[in-house]
Chains A and B, each alone.
Chain A
Amino acid sequence: MEYLLEVKNLTKRFGGLVAVNKVSMEIKEGEVVGLLGDNGAGKSTLIKMISGVHRPDEGQIFFKGKEVKIDSTRKALSIGIETLYQDLSLAENLNVYSNIFLGREKLKKILKFINVLDHDYMHKESKKVLDRLEIEIPSLRNRIRVLSGGQRQAVAISRSIYWDAKLLIMDEPTAALGVAEQKKVLELVLKLKSQGIGIIIISHQLYDVFSVADRLVIMRRGEKVGERNIKETNPDEVVSLIVGAEKVKQ
């Protein structure tokens, strides 16, 4: 059985602090894994090693069975690992389709030799992917700055999908959203899962995680403290893992 992604003993230190300590986990195609843990548990740091933002101090990453060195965000993107960060990372001064194509702009030639941005193409393609995900945004020429939190999230998701994500990592995708928009994002997660995309979702909202995840990985103080199939656990057990069982007993 080949995993889409497998990480072994990933470790990241910031000075004296061990933010992530020998964490191993894996994920299959079309699987949704919830990554849980308290504030500062090391979730974001773990996924940033997978998406090329941080370089691991120790450990290995395997993608589709092959070991990969992910030393830049470009590298991660090029093999199909797309990430939605906690702080979204859209350029607010650019419009919707420019953000979807950011860093991978489509060019066309004018006068046979001058490369210029192909705005029409990028606009059209962006519209298509938004339509496919049933996302409504009044105009793709609007700057991100004027969009709502949910619309921004939707743009960020569309960008990952457009670029053919094999693995989608979502760091608190519903944190800043209204109830209706949260629901929409969760529906999107399920839709993507059904298309065979592997998804790692970080969230503090247990309800969200339980409604979409197949499996849970729980971290505490940089270490992995548990792994459960969603069908074989319940929110109470998960909470006790997150905060530390000793505390619950007391």
Chain B
Amino acid sequence: MNTNKNLALNVTQNPSKLFSLLAKNWALFFLLILILIFSFTGKRFFQLANFQNIIHLSTTSLLLAAAETFVIITGGIDLSVGFMMGLSSVLSATIMQKMHAVNFLPALSISIGSIIALIVCIIAGLISGIMITKYRVPSFIATLGMGGIASGIALIMSEGFPVTFLPPYLTDIGNGYLIYIFPGKAISFFNKPEGITGKELKELIRIIPNSFIFIVIVLFILWHILKNTKFGQHTYAIGGSMVAAVRAGINTNRHLIIIYVLSSFLAGLAGVFNVFQTGIGNYTQFSSMYELLAIASVVIGGASLFGGKGRIIGSVIGVILISVIENGLQLSGVDPFYRFIAVGLILIAAIIIDQSFPDLF
């Protein structure tokens, strides 16, 4: 039985185990190297506060990339995630604003705004999914259309301005931390210790952002679904061979509809989170390219646009890689526009590596 593992490696075209380990996890190695480099070049880069900041600012990107991971594994693509996030952000904020204006309880306004935005996103995903499965519209066309509609509605609703005057506590939750330590004097959970002001705030140590706990839970559930469940297995099968999946008795139409609903839902979740993080509702600008960065992260994380391949953990590494480049270049004093070039180069490298080692993943 020992020989089985060796055989599995031998049949792929790579002679050396170390080499294949490197090729398979190149994004992770590259990330570690970048962290090392930026630790020398970037001011205050290698600090807990900065790492927490990177994760905190990556929350929405992680949600979008996770959404895109599911879609891409089935061999599709979802170009609506960025605009769906914007719609969800504007819609939830608008509802919160209106309810808050007539003195509803903040908790109620916030919950209802969030839930309605998520439901709208679910319906949008349902429509995309039906177009793609029942009417055989290619996924990039269907979702491009849906993204356009979402963007239009968000712009009309917000009139092109951020939605403000929202209930209190939003950013306290969205930007809060699990643990606050005021060295030698106080420790508290979820809220800053009482009576700390001005200069003292600078000394306050914040550990584990709430956004980190939130994203870890969401990603863990998604990872579990993809890795351990029937649903995950069928997602891979559909991407590997649609025909095989149909003939194995899998209800592929239903499955794909759920995939696009999930993708839209996660984009909606990103929008709601965005409101918690910024305290306002933000529409998505056309130049922001959220979906393209999400797709890039997923491909860098080892997925193939032909379908059948991809992992949540890979996509997470892809997102973090892009965020670290952005953050590291900035702290090293490099013009932020260079990050587009950097991401482009890494994406090309990812595709070349994917093409050169088709059997690795």
Contacts and interface: CB of A to CB of B under 8 A. Distances in A.
A57 to B, nearest CB: 20
B239 interface: yes
Contact of A92 (B233, B240, B250): B240
A80 to B, nearest CB: 13
A242 B286 CA distance: 63
A53 B247 contact: yes
Contacts of B230: 105, 107, 115, 117
B236 A93 contact: yes
A89 interface: yes
A107 B234 CA distance: 13
A85 interface: yes
Contacts of A104: 248-249
B247 A93 contact: no
Interface string B347-361: 000000000001100
A18 interface: no
Interface string A64-79: 0000000011100110
Nearest to B234: A103
Contacts of A73: 246-249
Contacts, number: 96
A116 B245 CA distance: 19
Contacts of B239: 93
B270 to A, nearest CB: 26
A245 interface: no
A68 B349 CA distance: 54
Given A139-B7, A141-B8, A91 B247 contact: no
Contacts of A93: 236-237, 239-241, 308-309
- State the main secondary structure of chain A at its contact with B: loop
A143 interface: yes
Interface string B221-253: 000100011100110110111011111111100
A21 interface: no
B156 interface: no
Interface of A: 51, 53, 72-74, 77-78, 83, 85, 87-94, 98-99, 102-105, 107, 114-117, 138-139, 141-143, 145-146
B307 to A, nearest CB: 8
A94 B240 CA distance: 8
A89 B243 contact: yes
Interface string B202-236: 00000000000000000000001000111001101
Contacts of B244: 88-91, 99, 102
B226 to A, nearest CB: 11
Contact of A141 (B4, B250, B359): B4
Interface string B10-40: 0110000000000000000000000000000
B136 interface: no
6 contacts: A72-B249, A73-B248, A94-B233, A102-B237, A139-B8, A143-B359
A91 B245 contact: yes
B189 to A, nearest CB: 27
B134 interface: no
A146 B250 contact: no
B294 to A, nearest CB: 22
A74 B237 contact: no
B1 to A, nearest CB: 9
Contacts of B8: 138-139, 141-142, 146
Given A72-B249, A117-B230, A91 B308 contact: yes
Given A91-B244, A93-B239, A107-B230, A102 B4 contact: no
Contacts of B5: 139
B243 to A, nearest CB: 5
B249 to A, nearest CB: 4
Given A91-B237, A91-B244, A93-B240, 9 more contacts: A73-B247, A78-B249, A90-B244, A91-B248, A93-B239, A99-B244, A102-B244, A115-B229, A141-B4
Interface string B284-306: 00000000000000000000000
Nearest to B243: A89
A87 B239 CA distance: 17
A131 B3 CA distance: 18
Interface in B188-210: none
Contacts of A99: 244
A99 B240 CA distance: 11
